[in-house]
Amino acid sequence: MSIENNSAPAASPVLVVGSVAFDSIRTAKAESGKILGGSATYGAIASSYFAPTRIVGVVGTDFGEAEIGRLRDRGIDLEGLQIDQSGETFFWAGVYSDDFSSRETLETRLNVFADFKPTLPESYRRTPYVLLGNIQPSLQAMVLDQLEPGSFTVADTMNLWIEIARDALMDLLPRIDLFILNDEEAEQLTGESNVFNAGPKLLEAGPEIVLIKKGAHGAVLFHPEGLFALPVYPVREIADPTGAGDSFAGALVGYLAAAGRHDFATLRKACAYATVTASLTVEALGVDGLEKAGRAEIDRRLDELLAMTQIR
């Protein structure tokens, strides 16, 4: 199959693990109905613009050819996607406040996700760049257990796991290279409302690098070689912020894989690619914006962001 806008053929592969879901999203302007979602879905589609991407997750009997086709059309390797015939796919419903400043979960139906144990096909065990998308920290740890040493590992999380699986999350942190979370989650974990205090505290918990996202206000990278801060790409009309964080993380890991490096300079550029890729996600409902944009639009937005932040 020839894939337009796909990754550079020389790039290292990326493994994305997380939820593959159906979502139902309500905003002031729209009601999505049952649409494709999940942390691994957003992460893998974003990564696929930069590097060959493989996915590990589970879906149920309601996940049809149409959904599979959308992932395949992005060139995503689905060998690690389990199809569980015993039930339906993970379902999540949420509603946003009118100004998108807050979100409430209306419903979470775990369905086949309840018994999910990530299992890496033999050929995935040696993957140089790995995104542990938002799922229980114990499942993220199970993936690390199956990887051969040497992967650069990035983990994302959410408030739920900080509330109900804090110890497992803290145990995971020393085992990963880069921890990505948002400012609210960073405060929840460290008690520090100022990200410049929360970042160093999180580094003490074990990961080599920490990245704190501040929603519409950009992101800060805490690296042994220094600090890097970036605003977001300006979006004037937000349609649906769902999956922005997952798209950010997927693009970041994808870019590192394409570069084949994860030094400070490469990470800074990866952050810039991550923020422009996330901007595509928020402009449309579900994965539509991310899926349709194409690599040329990502590169155009990157140039705009670079011009916007240059200090002469």
**For ligand AMP, the closer CB: 38 or 75:** 38
Binding part of the chain for ligand AMP, among 183-191, 212-220, 237-245, 258-266 by CB under 6 A, reads 237-245
134 binds ligand AMP (CB under 6 A): yes
One of 38, 43, 118, 207 touching ligand AMP (CB under 6 A): 38
Dihedrals phi, psi of 151, to nearest 5 degrees: -75, 150
Residue with tokens 């929603």: 215
**Cα(10)–Cα(17) distance, rounded to whole angstroms?**
22
Which is it for strands 103-109 and 90-96: parallel, antiparallel or unpaired? antiparallel
181 binds ligand AMP (CB under 6 A): no
Closest CB 19 distance from ligand AMP, rounded Å: 3
**For ligand AMP, the closer CB: 259 or 273:** 273
Helices and strands in the chain: count of H runs, count of E runs: 11, 13
Question: Using an 8 Å Cβ cutoff, are 49 and 16 in contact?
Answer: no
**For ligand AMP, the closer CB: 82 or 197:** 82
Question: In the chain, which ranges are E strands?
Answer: 14-17, 21-26, 31-37, 53-59, 81-83, 90-96, 103-109, 129-132, 152-156, 178-182, 209-213, 219-223, 226-230
One of 58, 120, 131, 135 touching ligand AMP (CB under 6 A): 135
One of 83, 160, 164, 308 touching ligand AMP (CB under 6 A): 160
Q: Which residue ranges make up the site for ligand AMP (CB under 6 A)?
A: 19, 21, 23, 37-39, 92, 108, 134-135, 158, 160, 242-246
